């Protein structure tokens, strides 16, 4: 414990020294002079990094592995704040706020892997798929795509249940299959009713989901823990 405290203190001092050197020498030499106060988002990032690092620092403490869930979003918030502060580009939030949703999903995924808990993959998949759709719409400004993409909700739940079933839990397998089928029917109907690029998007998603299910079927059946060990 004493050695770990000494190492942490040493790393903190190195970081402070590097910041001071960056502010007083390196950045002015490059002609980029700004107040050190612009680096305040590093405090937020440090808090997130501390949460994410805790499971690695104390690997025997199973409960700390859940800190990935709050740690990843805090880390992402710190990164977006730092970008906006350094470049005075606060408009980054209008485009990349869904990255916080995706980082939350990634936090659930890491917790599921490190805790060997397949059930945590359910929120990881549901939140992750919604985050991807939000990011797509934020980048393209095609929010009207929700006329087709609303079916991502039953699809994400269905895929999550299929992953959790691992081919061994018939109830989850049946429920997941039904939800995926409902989503597929919804995509098909929306693609037929609507026209233009929206219908093309719906058709492409149907094809991608079908390919994903085929690949999953060819991957064999594993128990929930076996899947996570292989990951």
pLDDT digits (tens, 9 = 90+) for 128-158: 999 999 999 999 998 988 877 888 888 899 9
Q: Kindly report, residue by residue over 174-209, the tens digit of the pLDDT.
A: 888 888 888 777 777 766 666 555 556 666 666 776
Q: Where are the domains of the chain?
A: 1-33
Confirm whether pTM is higher than 0.85: no
Using only C-alpha atoms, what is the Rg of the chain? 22
Q: What is the mean pLDDT of residues 25-51?
A: 78
Residue showing tokens 């020498």: 25
- Residue 195 has, within 13 A of its CA and on its CB side, a CA count of 0
Three-class HEC string of 144-163: HHHHHHCCHHHHHHHHHHHH
List, in order, residues 6 or more apart from 217 with CB less than 8 Å away. none
Angstrom CA distances, 219 to 4, 7, 121, 156, stand at: 43, 44, 18, 20
């Amino acid at each position: 414990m004493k050695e770990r405290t000494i190492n942490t203190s040493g790393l903190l001092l190195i970081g402070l020294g590097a910041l001071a050197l960056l502010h007083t020498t390196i950045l002015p030499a490059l002609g980029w002079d700004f107040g050190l106060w612009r680096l305040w988002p590093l405090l937020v990032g440090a808090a997130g990094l501390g949460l994410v690092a805790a499971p690695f620092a104390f690997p025997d403490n199973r409960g700390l592995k859940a800190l990935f869930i709050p740690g990843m979003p805090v880390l992402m918030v710190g990164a977006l704040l730092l970008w906006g502060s350094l470049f005075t580009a606060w408009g980054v939030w209008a485009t990349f706020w869904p990255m916080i949703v995706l980082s939350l999903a990634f936090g659930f995924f890491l917790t599921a892997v490190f805790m060997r808990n397949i059930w945590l993959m359910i929120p990881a998949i549901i939140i992750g798929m919604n985050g991807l759709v939000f990011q797509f719409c934020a980048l393209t400004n095609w929010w009207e795509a929700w006329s087709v993409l609303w079916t991502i909700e039953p699809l994400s739940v269905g895929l999550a249940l299929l992953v959790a079933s691992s081919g061994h839990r018939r109830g989850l397998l049946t429920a997941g299959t039904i939800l995926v089928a409902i989503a597929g029917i919804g995509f098909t109907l929306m693609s037929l009713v609507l026209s233009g690029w929206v219908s093309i998007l719906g058709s492409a998603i149907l094809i991608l989901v079908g390919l994903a299910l085929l690949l999953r079927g060819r991957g064999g059946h594993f128990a929930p823990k076996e899947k996570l060990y292989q990951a």
